[in-house]
Structure 1
Amino acid sequence: MHFHLARVSTIAEIALPASEFALRETFSRIPGAKFEIVGVVAHDTERVMPQMQAITSDIAVLQSVLTTDSSVTDCTVITSRGNRGLFWMNWCERVREVVYLLAKNETTVLAASAATSEWQFRIQSEDRDAFSTVYESCRDAGFPVEVKNVHEQTTLLKDSRGLTTQQYETLQTAIDRGYYDIPRNATTEDLAEELGVSHQAISERLRRGHRSLVEHGLSSPKSDSA
């Protein structure tokens, strides 16, 4: 299977205080806890953010605290190991409403995490104007969202030329994690850890992927007066 660079979408990073969204009481009692949503469900208002990974000193204590948090209607520990636990979550209506507003107008919630009493969301859209509508909808509903960053992201799409599957996976992960950003937000070591391969394998995939893209890009030059 082969791929080439094709589509550019817009990514927005949005913040919302836990006091206005979820886990306010939990942060009040365990301020050092960190949370990351696994498998965000953006368009199903009944099953938003179904799984949550937590990092804290005592998972059993955290579960007890979560059961008394007003934003949580039910939670179950799926797995736990050391200071990490994976929870199956049911959230209150207010939480579902926020996620629904963030996912309006063909936007998609890519990631959600929380630490130090603040939630961070990463949402994607093909239309930059859609983010203005999302922001206004949240503000109109009384949710004080703050836009931290908006940037363009290139997505690799299937084609009959260019990259192998491994090269595609590595390059797309590099794009997603900010390896090509200025300043760079990820290293080859970060990519190797995420993909579960050696640093050398990442370096080779990047070099070969870059070479393939350049060769295909140069194979059909366009007329240019410059």
Structure 2
Amino acid sequence: MVVVAELEIPANAFDLGRLSQVTEGIHIELERVVPIGTDGVMPFFWATGPDTESFDAFEQAVRGDDVVEELTAVARVDHRVLYHVVWSDTAANLTAVLVASEATILEAYGDDPWRFRLRFADHRGLREFHNYCLDHDVAFRVERIYTLDEEQDAKYNFDLTPEQRSALTLAVEHGYFGVPREVSLQEIADELGISQQAASERVRRGAETVLQSVLLSQSASDLD
């Protein structure tokens, strides 16, 4: 069964993380999902910085590092630059671990520490990743481990209580959020058999929970 692991890894434990520390004010995140072995490891990343001088200093420092063969600025958008990097044969530690454990990087971003979301074909792959990290002295902290089925269930549950879900579903179905509003809060309360105040709290808190889950999810762009 496919397993997803969310981890924290110190920046100095892997090549891209260490390079992200060479220039103050530069924040890095991987650009997209890149299966290990198709185009190297971590070949594209976005860098966000305060000004042109910061990017110039960053590029100079990165190109002068032994672990990098080539660094190319692919696109520049406002204060963000998309880079393509070719790692040299000297690149090791986490890079070697990811290749050996056949992990897929779903998401990675950070300053220090970095946060990774990795997908493994099964628990065996995750165990191999853990063992390789031990062998290569790569420290990490596990935040969460779950299967795709568990992720799918959580995605549509939004951590709502049953009472909040009932109230919010009723409000949506009857047009409470419509313009103009098609049902009053008192009518929702009457159908649920609760007070208007209780209905208000369930609808408000339920709506806030859903909006936070959708709009303020823990993605790289949100945390930038």
Q: Which TM class, normalised by the smaller chain length?
A: 0.5 to 0.7
Equivalent residues of 2:33, 2:104 under 8 A apart: no
Indicate whether 1:76 and 2:72 are aligned: yes
SS in 2 for 1:66: helix
Distance 1:63 1:50, change over 3 A: farther
Q: Deviations over 1:59-86 (max 9, x none)?
A: 4522432331334332121111221111
Matched residue, 1:99: 95
Equivalent residues of 1:66, 1:75 under 8 A apart: yes
Alignment of 1:96-135 (within 5 A): 97-115=93-111, 117-135=112-130
**TM-score (norm: length of structure 2):** 0.59
> Which has the higher relative contact order, 1 or 2, with Cα contacts under 8 A spaced 6 or more apart?
1
Tell me how far apart the structure 1 counterparts of residues 4 and 85 of structure 2 sit (CA, whole Å). 26
Tell me how far apart the structure 2 counterparts of residues 103 and 83 of structure 1 sit (CA, whole Å). 32
Distance 1:35 1:179, change over 3 A: farther
Quick one: percent identity of the two aligned structures? 21
Q: 2:3 aligns with which of 1, 7, 10?
A: 10
Aligned length: 164
Matched residue, 1:48: 41
Indicate whether 1:136 and 2:113 are aligned: no
The structure in which a higher percent of residues are strand is: 1
The amino acid across from 2:79 in the alignment is N
Tell me how far apart the structure 1 counterparts of residues 5 and 93 of structure 2 sit (CA, whole Å). 19
Distance 1:97 1:24, change over 3 A: closer
SS in 1 for 2:149: strand
Equivalent residues of 1:20, 1:143 under 8 A apart: yes
Indicate whether 1:153 and 2:130 are aligned: no
Equivalent residues of 1:63, 1:75 under 8 A apart: no
What is the CA-CA distance between 1:109 and the residue it aligns to?
2.0
Q: Deviations over 1:65-121 (max 9, x none)?
A: 233133433212111122111111123445455234224444322222222x22222
Tell me how far apart the structure 2 counterparts of residues 21 and 102 of structure 1 sit (CA, whole Å). 11
The structure in which a higher percent of residues are helix is: 2
Tell me how far apart the structure 2 counterparts of residues 122 and 177 of structure 1 sit (CA, whole Å). 16
Gaps of 5+ in 2: 161-208, 218-224
Equivalent residues of 1:78, 1:87 under 8 A apart: yes
Matched residue, 2:199: none
Tell me how far apart the structure 2 counterparts of residues 100 and 67 of structure 1 sit (CA, whole Å). 25
Equivalent residues of 2:70, 2:85 under 8 A apart: yes
Gaps of 5+ in 1: 1-7, 156-173, 192-226
Indicate whether 1:29 and 2:23 are aligned: yes
What is the CA-CA distance between 1:9 and the residue it aligns to?
2.8
Indicate whether 1:180 and 2:175 are aligned: no
Tell me which structure has the larger Cα radius of gyration: 2
Distance 1:102 1:48, change over 3 A: closer
